[in-house]
Amino acid sequence: MNRRLCVYISAAVMAALLGISGCRAGERKKEDTGKPTVVVLWHSYNAVAKSAFDDLVMEFNETVGMEQGIIVEPVGYGSSNELDDVLYASASHVIGSEPLPDIFASYPDSAYRLDGIAPLVRLDGYFSEDELDAYRPEFLAEGVWGGDGMHRMVPVAKSTEILYLNETDWEAFAGDTGAGKEMLKTWEGLAQAAGMYYEWSGGSPFLGMNAFNDFAALSAAQLGEGICRTQDGPEFNYSRETARRVWDAYYVPHIKGWYESRTYNQDGIKSGRLMAYIGSSAGAGFFPQVVIEDEKQSHPISCGSYAYPVFQGGTPYMGQRGANMAVFASDESHQQASVRFLKWFTQPEQNIRFAVATGYLPVQKKALESVSDLVAQVESQDNAQAVEQSIRASLKALENHNVYVRETFLGSYDMDQIFSVSLENRINTDLETLRRRMEKGESRESVERELLDDGHFDSWYETLLKEMAGKTDGQKIQK
């Protein structure tokens, strides 16, 4: 039986129960029609996350929802990009598109765009000040834009970027070279350790990175610069000095072969090619438990998790990832029912179960207070040791780092897209150039010298400034 049919049957059963229990239903602050309010919710959870989410939705429907006359109908999409596309089509009334849902999961930039064509509910009228204050403020701040201070989104589960390390093989490397874990705290130290590992291992890369878009924003924020909104409009502050430090921390190690970033850097750990990678805390369960050298040789490894690196002398910023949820404006019955579900889902009892099962962090301050309470929820599946390490590292980072909040405003999405891919695209292009020229017989050293020349950095930097100037009318670029 498919889920949608289950929802319709549940609705019929609930309607009958409400008809019998009319006195109790009349106590709710909504028009009592004798029928349950069906709340349609679109999300992009997959695999374990989808299963955990569906289980909690069913629990709500069978308990609180049954008592209050609410049925939540979840509809999953394959990816956040696919969900963005169908949401925008529905909001724009594209022929053949589905009616808009009541609740949807989204990132702030996408929700901001939707809010301009299909208004979102200002949630301040449904949450008390105490209820809003229960959330981690940086998580909640992502749903505020427009200068009115109103909350348009609620965080439901968050993750951050952390550094994963093969602790077992690190000990051998550190014992031979004297490398210390203090080096893993800064971008400069990390690059130094990677260079040492490259020499020690005979040419293997040390580190992979899963998400450059986080690095672009966070590295600039750590050095006090980046994209921001002023009274005069969007502004891009990115000095040559800052850009050069970022270049040296990211571009140079990739060209030298010290870093090697792929979509699934966990595979590099499993093959023994990589010693570490920076990736989402939500993916901790995928950290390999064994390194497989070849068909005959393998050895077990343990996982170490560490906070996101910071530039020397910089402000310790860490990222936040994970979609929030918002409610489209409709009628009072559906808006109230939607908010009731969101309140229930983000309460610590439910939210901790969902967060830990999926590798995410809960969103309310109370739920983030105890490491032991979160670790106790970890099940013995995938790599439980890595998940525990990830939780401990993430909570420690929340104590010692500033959580970065992306500003959302008109044009911020396009600016973020340009900024986030600029250096990554240059690296990919230049690595391909390096490969082709080496295949034709040129030495790696000679090609590297050309790619690492100051003029090559200048070319990238000036190109980035020109691209960003097109999004700020060319008047608000601070070199």
Tens digit of pLDDT for each residue in 248-296? 999 999 999 999 998 889 999 999 999 999 999 988 888 999 999 888 8
What is the pLDDT at residue 381? 63
pLDDT at 8 over 60: no
Q: Where are the domains of the chain?
A: 3-159+321-369, 161-319+403-478
What is the pLDDT at residue 382? 66
CB 306 within 8 A of CB 312: no
pLDDT at 1 over 80: no
What is the pLDDT at residue 206? 98
What is the pLDDT at residue 393? 93
Q: Cα separation of 2 and 9, whole Å?
A: 11
pLDDT band at 233 (very low <50, low <70, confident <90, very high): confident
pLDDT band at 473 (very low <50, low <70, confident <90, very high): low
CATH class of 161-319+403-478: alpha beta
pLDDT at 28 over 70: no
What is the pLDDT at residue 231? 79
Backbone phi and psi for residue 446, each to the nearest 5 degrees, phi listed first: -70, -40
Q: Which amino acid is at 203?
A: G
CA distances 26 to 30, 32, 72, 126, 399, Å, are: 8, 6, 20, 20, 46
- Range of lowest pLDDT (329-343, 380-394, 447-461): 380-394
What is the pLDDT at residue 44? 94
pLDDT at 17 over 90: no
Fold equal for 3-159+321-369 and 161-319+403-478: yes
What is the pLDDT at residue 477? 53
- Range of lowest pLDDT (20-29, 262-271, 330-339, 460-469): 20-29
In tens, the pLDDT along 351-391 reads 999 988 887 899 999 999 877 778 777 776 668 889 889 99
pLDDT at 430 over 50: yes
Backbone phi and psi for residue 267, each to the nearest 5 degrees, phi listed first: -65, -30
pLDDT at 22 over 50: no
pLDDT at 476 over 70: no
In tens, the pLDDT along 284-336 reads 888 999 999 888 899 999 999 999 999 999 999 999 998 899 999 999 999 99
What is the pLDDT at residue 387? 87
What is the pLDDT at residue 89? 97
pLDDT at 434 over 50: yes
CA atoms within 13 A on the CB side of 197: 30
Here the tokens at position 140 are: 């909640």
What is the pLDDT at residue 370? 77
CATH 2.102.10.10 fits 3-159+321-369, yes or no: no
Backbone phi and psi for residue 377, each to the nearest 5 degrees, phi listed first: -90, -10
Q: Give percent above pLDDT 90 in the chain.
A: 75
- Range of lowest pLDDT (184-198, 206-220, 421-435): 206-220
